[in-house]
Amino acid sequence: MRGMKLLGALLALAALLQGAVSLKIAAFNIQTFGETKMSNATLVSYIVQILSRYDIALVQEVRDSHLTAVGKLLDNLNQWVTVAGS
C-alpha cells in the first residue's frame, strides 16, 4: 500500500513538472559534414540557426577524422548563443 502511495505521488509530481520542464532534442543528418561545408559561410549560418533552437542536438554523417569542422561548428554555436543571450 505504501508503494502505491509513493507511486501515485511520483506520478502526480511528474504530471506537474511536465509542463514546467521541457527539453528540445533533435537529430540531423547533415550529409557528409566536414571542412567543405564549414567553408561555406551561408551554409554554416543556416546550420547554426537550426541547431541553436535545440537544447540537445545530434549531428549524423560527420566526415571529419580530426574533428576540426566539429570544433569550428561548436565555436560558431557558442558565439551565436552568447550574442543571443546578451
Domain ranges of the chain: 22-85
Contacts 24+ apart (CB under 8 A), 20-26: 23/55, 23/56, 24/53, 24/54, 24/55, 24/56, 25/54, 25/55, 25/56, 25/57, 26/51, 26/53, 26/54, 26/56, 26/57, 26/58
Q: Provide the pLDDT confidence category of residue 78 given band limits of 50, 70 and 90.
A: confident
pTM higher than the cut 0.75: no
Share of the chain above pLDDT 70, in %: 78
Position 48 scores a pLDDT of: 93
